[in-house]
Amino acid sequence: MEKFPLNVVRRVMIVLFLDPSLPRYVTIQRKNAPTPDWFFLVHRPVSTTSTSKPFLLLSAFDFRLAKKLVADGKWCHKKFVENLKRDSSANEKVTIIPINTTEDSQLLRFVLRLNRLKITPSTWQKENLSLGENSPWMATFVSPLYSDNPLLDVESADASNSTTNDNNCCAACKKVSQSLKRCSRCRSTVYCCEECQRQHWAQHKMDCKKV
């Protein structure tokens, strides 16, 4: 895959979506840059909208914006530390996803900020993060399927899909298991066996082919 900015952003999303072992804390950093561009708190499991489209909720901290806000006297690093302490535990691991250029970073910022306008922050985000116009924090999301849908209410999506959004629940028979297998194409839907996947294909194929 050529390293155009769009492909780099796609790779970031693929890593976030397809690696369930990824720690909750992720930083995005340009090669040879002294500090990260982004810090993500990844809110798993993958959720789905009312139209069965997968999305992954993120609490994102924009380090470059934070630097500007600090210079303008509108932010202090202490707030970032306080926000993290509300959610972190001792020895929490952080994964670094590298990107290459400033153009990569700018495109990723554009996507995250665009998605921010399409989402309603979760209750946890409202209560634990310093969200607002003069804050580097934002509630946003990533998804392999993008469309100009109405605003996404995270709480409503979680409530209406509480039985099917869990990565431990078979999409066909709803059996809860720790050894489910993902659809090899979209990697967002899980099944307990091949028979369930075959039975569910007629319902799943339209969304799967859009990925």
Compute the chain's Rg from CA coordinates.
18
Q: Which residues contact 18 (CB under 8 A, 6 or more apart)?
A: 187
What does the pLDDT read at residue 87?
56
pLDDT in tens, the chain (211 residues): 456 888 888 888 888 887 777 888 899 999 888 889 999 999 888 887 777 778 889 999 998 888 888 888 887 777 666 666 655 554 678 889 999 888 998 999 999 998 888 888 888 888 888 788 888 899 999 887 654 444 455 555 444 444 444 456 777 776 766 677 888 887 778 888 888 888 888 777 777 765 4
Question: What confidence score (pLDDT) does residue 38 get?
Answer: 92
Length of the chain: 211
Give the amino acid at 123.
T
Distance CA 165, CA 48 (A): 6
Here the tokens at position 121 are 């922050």
